[in-house]
Amino acid sequence: MVGGGGAAGEARGRAWAGPEGRPHLAGQAPAPAVSPFQCLARARGLRDLSGDGGVRKEELRPGAGPAVPPAASVAVKYSGYLEHWDEPFCTNCYSKSPGLMKLGKDITLGGLEIGLLTMKKGEVARFVFMPDYAYGQQGCPPLIPPNATVMFEVEVLDFLDSDESDTFFDLTALKFRYFFIQEQQDTFPLQKVLKVADTEREFGNYLYRKQHFEGAKDRYKRAFSILGRSPSSEAEQCQIDASKLLVLLNLSLTYLKLERPAQALAYGEKALEIDQRNAKALFRCGQACLCMTEYEKARDFLVRAQHIQPFNHDINNELKKLASCYKDYMEKEKEMCCRMFAPLNSSSG
């Protein structure tokens, strides 16, 4: 959590590269060292984000797209520095894959929240936070002294606008104490439900790309849990089915990554109930059956997928893999039979 110095004391950050000093002349006292922190704090042209000089920003690299929205979940790299320190007092820059943190919940440092709301994906910036926007009059003993001005270097890796989704699930969790959740979900406008499901699926996709498969699976299941509402028309049913299909395909794939082929098959078959000619669903089911050594079923699913997409390399390669596995299986069966009957043949001689 960024706000209470949670990573404090664990940092082993790089030193900040300062400006070259003036040459020292004989007979003169050496000029006092000026830290990079002081250079930035004294620099003119910093953007005043708070209006009172409490939060100032220097953009180091521009980003692209929209700015981070309020209450978003963000993936950032950050390092926090005190005025006379060359190493950060807190940092997550040594993590290969920083997790998503929610503004106002996981990120509680006032200045950092203000700063992040001005940033875009891919942007790198430095911020100077005065005490009222950082750790206040008390500081955060023993590491952060009272009334400390701090500097943060921040890179926005990615973010998701999760506010509506989080609010939705908080509300349904509250109402679950008094009503059946399904009845409550049917009272929400369909477009809101579809948007929340899409956000949860995007969360799952982000975690899947980071190879956090358990977390991805949980997000996909959250999305699927709200798509069981009763449609009021055929058009609504089509919209719900389209959203469901994407989630089911992702669940099937994720369970394959988790090496749980039975669940992968179950979700793949649910996808086929929506679209029996969906090549991805057939392919996932074929993969799951192959993992469970159910070769006949695997062949049936994969051949059906191949009929729909005859030039798909993944499907054709999986059929080759199936043929190889089945060949090895038959050879082992033959070898086992020979061993079983070998004693009988020797005794009859």
Contact 151, 41 (CB under 8 A): yes
Q: pLDDT tens for residues 173-186?
A: 544 443 444 445 55
Q: pLDDT tens for residues 127-151?
A: 999 999 999 998 888 889 999 999 9
pLDDT at position 166: 75
Q: Can you tell me the mean pLDDT for 256-260?
A: 96
Whether 171 has a pLDDT exceeding 80, the answer reads no
What does pTM read for this prediction? 0.66
